[in-house]
């Protein structure tokens, strides 16, 4: 088990923890055994539910398998969050094709409060998010559960994550964390509008997952294709670095089919085919 204390984005840290230990030949202890890592962090702009409910299911399509145990949630400014990740080594990664979104089949999530904050804030965030989504998506039942975290939470905080799941297994998220002086309903509206923005472009991943998949596309053996919305600067940076460090080659093509909006693209990668020599 390894301990990490980090102030960087927990999503960024997890992306590194899932990709590097899977292949790095210098980690000779990874012949067959999983790697267990603990991270203690101060705060993040994305609720940790994103890692387990959006990032994890999609990354598993590449053949990456990890478990994520949130031991303690930490809130600004005290921090104190703690997450344990177990990463299992693999021989090589599989390429992924995600170009058919299908229809939105489910919308669900959680609105939470911790510490001394009243439960009413969670209910207000949930209700505001549902109202906002209902303006565009009227036919689906929306299940956003208000929760009070009495255990496994350090400090005071509130937030919300809303997830949409498509008929083909694509996942999208909108989220927001509470801030001092900001009404709870505004936090709910912010998360809902973020989700709707990521659904409108008819892509298969949201703006946050987009750049996190680049490293896995680059390491996979074969050609991966992912349909997405506007290609973010984070994604373009990740592509540039991946091409410098591996033999992977990326192309970005604007979609021209009838389902495309003005901001729909295909990111294609001929992966480097990295192989774990220890397996």
Active-site residue numbers? 234
Alpha-carbon distances, residue 67 vs 86, 88, 137, 279 (angstroms): 5, 9, 33, 20
**Can you tell me the distance from the alpha carbon of 183 to that of 188, in angstroms, rounded to the nearest whole number?**
9
- Which of 169, 53, 184 is CA-nearest to residue 109? 53
**Can you tell me the distance from the alpha carbon of 125 to that of 112, in angstroms, rounded to the nearest whole number?**
9
Q: Which residues is 79 bridged to in the sheet?
A: 75
* H or E stretch at 252: strand 249-254
Q: Which residues contact 79 (CB under 8 A, 6 or more apart)?
A: 41, 42, 43, 154, 155
Q: Three-state DSSP class for 268?
A: strand
Q: Three-state DSSP class for 141?
A: coil
Task: Indicate the angle between helix axes 184-200 and 119-134, nearest 10 degrees.
Answer: 30
């Amino acid at each position: 088990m390894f301990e990490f204390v980090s102030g960087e984005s927990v999503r960024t840290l997890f992306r590194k923890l899932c990709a590097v230990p899977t292949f790095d030949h210098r980690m000779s202890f990874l012949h067959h055994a999983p790697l267990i890592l603990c991270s203690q962090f101060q705060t993040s702009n994305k609720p940790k539910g994103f890692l387990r409910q959006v990032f994890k299911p999609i990354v598993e399509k590449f053949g990456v398998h990890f478990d994520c145990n949130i031991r303690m949630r930490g809130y600004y400014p005290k921090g104190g969050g703690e997450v344990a990740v177990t990463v299992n080594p693999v021989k090589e990664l599989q390429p992924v094709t995600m170009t058919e979104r299908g229809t939105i089949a489910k919308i669900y999530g959680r609105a939470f409060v911790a510490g001394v904050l009243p439960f009413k804030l969670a209910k207000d965030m949930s209700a505001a998010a549902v109202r906002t989504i209902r303006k565009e998506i009227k036919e689906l039942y929306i299940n956003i559960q208000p929760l009070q975290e009495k255990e496994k939470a350090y400090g005071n905080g509130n937030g919300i994550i809303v997830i949409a799941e498509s008929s083909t297994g694509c996942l999208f998220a909108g989220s927001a964390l509470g801030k001092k002086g900001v009404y709870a309903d505004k936090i709910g509206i912010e998360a809902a509008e973020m989700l709707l923005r990521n659904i409108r472009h008819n892509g298969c991943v949201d703006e946050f997952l987009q750049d996190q998949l680049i490293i896995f596309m680059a390491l996979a053996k074969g050609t991966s294709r992912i349909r997405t919305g506007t290609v973010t600067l984070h994604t373009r940076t990740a592509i540039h670095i991946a091409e410098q460090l591996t033999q992977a080659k990326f192309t970005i093509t604007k979609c021209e089919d009838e389902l495309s909006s003005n901001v729909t693209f295909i990111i294609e990668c001929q992966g480097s085919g990295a192989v774990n020599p220890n397996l």
